[in-house]
Amino acid sequence: MPLAQSKLTAQGQISVPSEIRRKLGIGPGSVLEWHEAYGQIIVRKAGRHTLADVHAALFPGAAAGQETPANVKEGIKKFIRRKHARG
């Protein structure tokens, strides 16, 4: 059963139902991201990241579930160094 429905206008616009706006914490000027995964379209508030997104950024190519707190701390350090590297 869907959470809510929207109708597409001739200009390709939709209104986000109020209950969805409240759940996402969005208002005028908020940016939404659209992703395709497993044959579905996922809409989320821009800037939100899933645990899988964070894991992929910290441990590129590694399988989830093998991290210790020390590994996570080191992964964050490496990510920040890569992101802010001058070069």
**List of domains in the chain:** 1-48 (2.10.260.10), 51-83 (no CATH)
Q: What is the pLDDT at residue 48?
A: 65
Q: What is the pLDDT at residue 87?
A: 63
Question: For residue 52, is pLDDT > 80?
Answer: no
Question: For residue 1, is pLDDT > 90?
Answer: no
How many other C-beta atoms lie within 10 A of the C-beta of residue 21?
16
End-to-end CA distance of the chain: 51
- Higher pLDDT among residues 60 and 4, named by residue: 4
Average pLDDT score over residue span 35-52:
84
15 in Cβ contact with 6 (< 8 Å): yes
